[in-house]
Amino acid sequence: MKIGTSLKVLGTVVLAGVFASNAFAAGYELKLGHNGKPGSLFEACANEFAKIANAKLGDKGKVTVFGAGQLGKDKEMLKKIKLGTAHLALNSSIMASKVDEIGMFDMPYLVKDRAHMAKIEKEIFWPTLAPAAEKKGYKILALWENGFRHITNNVKPIDVPADLKGIKLRTPSSVWRVKMFKSYGANPSPLPFGEVFVALKTGTFDGQENPFAQIASARFQEVQKYLSLTGHVYTPGYIVADIKKWAKVPADVAAIVEQAAKDTQPFVYKYAAELEKKLLAELIAGGITVNDANKQAFIDASGPIYEEFGKSVAGGTDMVKKAIALGK
Within-domain flag for 259:
yes
pLDDT for the residue numbered 26: 52
Q: Which domain holds residue 74?
A: 3-318
d(CA 296, CA 326): 20
Within-domain flag for 300:
yes
Please answer whether residues 133 and 102 qualify as being in contact, where contact means their C-beta atoms are separated by less than 8 angstroms: yes
* CATH number of the domain encompassing residue 97: 3.40.190.170
Within-domain flag for 33:
yes
What's the number of domains the chain is made of? 1
pLDDT for the residue numbered 297: 99
Within-domain flag for 96:
yes
Within-domain flag for 307:
yes
pLDDT tens sequence for the chain (328 residues)? 444 444 444 444 443 333 333 333 358 999 999 999 999 999 999 999 999 999 999 999 999 999 999 999 999 999 999 999 999 999 999 999 999 999 999 999 999 999 999 999 999 999 999 999 999 999 999 999 999 999 999 999 999 999 999 999 999 999 999 999 999 999 999 999 999 999 999 999 999 999 999 999 999 999 999 999 999 999 999 999 999 999 999 999 999 999 999 999 999 999 999 999 999 999 999 999 999 999 999 999 999 999 999 999 999 999 999 999 999 9
Within-domain flag for 326:
no
What sign does the CA torsion over 181, 182, 185, 189 have? positive
Within-domain flag for 323:
no
Q: How many residues does the chain have?
A: 328
Q: Which residues contact 107 (CB under 8 A, 6 or more apart)?
A: 176, 233, 302, 305, 306, 309, 320
pLDDT for the residue numbered 223: 97
Within-domain flag for 155:
yes
Q: What is this structure's pTM?
A: 0.90
Max CA pair span of the chain: 85
